[in-house]
Amino acid sequence: MMRSKPPHRPKRILTLDGGGIRGVISLGILSFVEQVHRDRRGDPTLVLADEYDLIAGTSTGAIIAACLSWGMDVSSILSMYREHGPMMFRPNKPWQRFRARYRAQEIALMFRRIFLEDDGALPTLGTAKLRTLLLVVMRNATTGSAWPLTNNTQATFNTVGIDGCNLDIPLWKILRASTAAPTFFPPERIQLGSRTHTFIDGGITPYNNPSLIALLTATLPEYRISWNPGEDKISLLSVGTGASRIQLATKPIDRLNLIDHLRYVPPALIGSIGEEQDKICRVLGRCIFGESLDAEVGALSGHGPLDDARLCTYARLNPKLESTLPMDDVSLINEFEHIGRMYAEHKLSPEVIV
């Protein structure tokens, strides 16, 4: 059942970071978020699609965002990760691992089974079954550009009838593309009009943390959603998959090699860019909750130079991890859920759920 959103409240944005199977940390947090909204409205069956107007995600965050926009509750998505996690990360045959560690067929099949129209057809991005605005971040490796796609029918490249209309792309292909992390999964090819493009994981863009691009998509006139900005007009809730400082291998400097650097540089860059996206959102919005960014600026939750022109109210929910946890170890699913739930239980209050 689709419920009407309460009138006279701010527009709400929910964003979900990438992070592989660590998306279960986000789901542990979202269990708390969902319960807060259920308690507020006195409705034990409410889902987050009833509360949020725009849900954005990158990589594993894109999977969760699409499931939430589809109308699934958090416990169902958790069950999906537990059931299908081993399938998502099924190793390739040994002679194929030089291309990718894991097979793409299983995760694609999972998407094709979960997302179906009432008549059994495979939905496209333009499906009416998505109950919110949905934003999914991919990278177009053919053009070398970030591709944040939405189902907004007014968007420039969503005009029905144009050659290569984004609304005609199968939803499962968009999710496969957004999760095609290099070395983990092979790229995904998508036909756009008369051309075929190759896409890879949205984490290989500035938007592994999609909070800023979601806020810009909602407010910049060029994206044609055009919500009025203001801390009393837009609420942005950003949920991460756990933060840790990426460290170079603990070896003597003269023993570091190319493999050490290759293991260090990509996750360090993705983490650093994600932190910067968070910092920008805290400056542009009024930050009501977030862990300390560093010892100099703290949480940036006080007053600042943009007090008279804040674009939104902003909260960042992202537990700090004592060590770097793998993105592909499905044996840690229960531990990841525990991390998310304990963080929510001990750190959060209903007042920060915007």
Q: What is the mean pLDDT of each run of 10 residues along the chain (354 residues)?
A: 69 96 97 97 97 97 98 97 87 74 88 95 97 97 96 95 93 96 89 91 94 98 96 96 76 74 72 90 94 89 79 96 84 95 96 91
CA 180/CA 139 separation, integer angstroms: 9
CA 289/CA 278 separation, integer angstroms: 12
Q: What is the pTM of this model?
A: 0.94
Chain mean position to CA 187: 19
Per the listing, tokens 């969760």 go with 64
CA 196/CA 111 separation, integer angstroms: 21
| Cα angle for residues 33, 62, 66 (degrees, 5° grid) | 70
Name residue 192's beta-bridge partners. Answer: 195
Which two tokens mark 323? 């060590």
Question: Do residues 325 and 242 lie in contact, with contact meaning Cβ atoms separated by under 8 Å?
Answer: yes
The pair phi, psi for residue 79, each rounded to 5°, is: -60, -40
Given this model, what pLDDT does residue 28 score? 98
Question: Do residues 135 and 65 lie in contact, with contact meaning Cβ atoms separated by under 8 Å?
Answer: yes
Which two tokens mark 33? 């978020």
Given this model, what pLDDT does residue 153 score? 96
CA 27/CA 20 separation, integer angstroms: 12
CA 115/CA 6 separation, integer angstroms: 27
